[in-house]
Homo-oligomer: A and B are copies of this chain.
Amino acid sequence: MKQILIKILPLFLGGILFSQTGRDSLQFKNISDEMLTNGAAYENLRDLTQNIGHRLSGSAAYEKSTDWAVQKLKEAGADKVWKEEVMVPVWERGKESLHIKTGKGNWKALKMLSLGNSEGTKGKNVEAEIIFVKNKAEFDLLPESAVKGKIVFFNYAFNQKFISTGQAYGDAGIYRRSAASWAGKKGAKAVIIRSLSSAFDDVPHTGMMRYDQDDNTKIPAVAIGPKSADELEKVLKTEKIFARLNSNCGMKGEKLSHSVIGEITGIKDQSVIVVGGHLDSWDVGEGAHDDGAGIVQSIEVLRTFRKLGIKNNHTIRVVCFANEENGVRGGNTYADNIRKNNEKHIFGIESDGGGFTPRGIALLMDAGKRKEVQSWRNLFLPYGVHNFELQYAGTDIEPMEKLGVPLGELVPDSQRYFEIHHSEEDTFDKVNRRELLLGAVVMGQLIYMIDKNW
């Protein structure tokens, strides 16, 4: 047996081990094997979602999750773990309800969620007739007299034709962000939007809205599920409908919070590679795909480098960002601090598209660096990762773009994400262990290559 090995090994090793690509390919497999067999990400996500649950920034649950992240980063083998101070806005939901009725009918409750950052009705009933528009163009045609004193219902549907649901989300996003200010400026009492959802169910989805700077009306904005939206539109074509909104949400100032950071020190220099996600979530569901997945995948990368004893040249730093959902204060503060401290960052990647099977890596960097990463494509293909054409970065790391840091984002399969995103449905049971771990595998592999080559 020994003799055979001695004869065969040199041939094998010559072809595989002693070529650079061969060595990289073996390290890719080591990372993948370790995560798929011993990966902690799935059990960590179970712990985060089941024992803490949703964790809106500014909430007690969020603060609890920062202690959780410190603990998990230590368990994963980080050399240093710390909390970075971040001032975050505090938005609270409180009790809320939306009822509708025809002129003579009875009030009927609709499933609804106030949009994040929206003001509420301060616990008072706000009643008005609903007027309905399909989109902004239809709304723009309405005179102020038609809008004043009404509740405006925007029923702009998620476009099923896009293959990437992220494109449909981008397409419909302006209604969630801006409809309140459009309607407020024409004197509306409130807006109702159709949830940004690819599903055909009745689940309402929240998400950040904002009031225009010149909007002093700050009317309440709420979302209803796709089914309710379809039914409401149908009835509104033949009948007058009145709505009664009662909500208590609103901004409650700011407070001191934290991002959580852990790293393994580089053996060559002090420059940093960031891998991260955001620790906060909306205040419904469990924040499992958004973005518990990105957090546990990032910690998994650190755990695996330590476990495999990979000697990283540069510091590999996991950042669990605060307040992505309603302010991006964690991301902005992090970028401010690295500029203040004159820290050199050579790369940053975020996972914030859900813990689904990875399909590609978006690259936001100069053409030369992008080409270099694309030249590693054949190493990634056996892991199903084929798309290196997209050019963007995660919301939390994007503030580093102006500092010239090459950035990226993991691109998972997008088909299921917007069924559950920002809703009660974003729960641990929607996450598949292997899909989640494969996302961590790909980030680990990319960081291995960048650490070695940049």
Binding site for B on A (CB under 8 A): 32-33, 36-37, 160-161, 163, 165, 198, 200, 357, 359, 382-384, 386-387, 413, 415-416, 419, 432-435, 438
Contact = CB atoms under 8 A, between A and B. Distances in A.
Contacts of A165: 434
B438 A415 contact: yes
A432 B420 CA distance: 12
Contacts of A32: 161, 163
B386 A386 contact: yes
19 contacts: A32-B161, A33-B161, A36-B160, A36-B161, A37-B160, A160-B434, A163-B382, A163-B383, A163-B384, A163-B438, A165-B434, A200-B433, A357-B357, A357-B415, A384-B387, A384-B413, A386-B387, A415-B432, A419-B432
A45 to B, nearest CB: 14
A438 B387 CA distance: 18
A198 B433 CA distance: 10
Closest 9 CB pairs of A and B: A386-B386, A415-B434, A36-B160, A415-B435, A33-B161, A357-B413, A357-B415, A37-B160, A416-B432
Contacts of A438: 163, 415
Give the interface centre of A382, A416, A419, A434 by most chain B CB atoms within 10 Å: A434
The oligomer's copy count stands at 2
A10 B388 CA distance: 33
A162 to B, nearest CB: 9
A161 B386 CA distance: 20
Given A37-B160, A384-B387, 9 more contacts: A32-B161, A37-B161, A163-B384, A165-B434, A357-B357, A357-B415, A384-B413, A415-B434, A416-B434
Nearest to A33: B161
A359 B198 CA distance: 21
A442 to B, nearest CB: 11
A160 B438 CA distance: 11
Contacts of A382: 163
Contacts of A161: 32-33, 36-37
Nearest to A413: B357
Contacts of A37: 160-161
Nearest to A432: B416
Nearest to A42: B200
A415 B153 CA distance: 40
A434 B198 contact: yes
A415 B200 CA distance: 24
Contacts of A200: 433
Contacts of A357: 357, 413, 415
Contacts of A434: 160, 165, 198, 415-416
Contacts of A36: 160-161
A165 B432 CA distance: 13
A167 to B, nearest CB: 11
Nearest to A164: B384
A301 to B, nearest CB: 18
A382 B161 CA distance: 12
Contacts of A163: 32, 382-384, 438
Contacts of A413: 357, 384, 413
A419 B383 CA distance: 19
Question: Most chain-B CB neighbours within 10 Å: which of A36, A165, A357?
Answer: A357
A316 to B, nearest CB: 24
Contact of A435 (B359, B386, B416): B416
Nearest to A389: B381
A37 B419 CA distance: 16
Contacts of A433: 200
Contact of A359 (B160, B384, B416): B384
A30 to B, nearest CB: 11
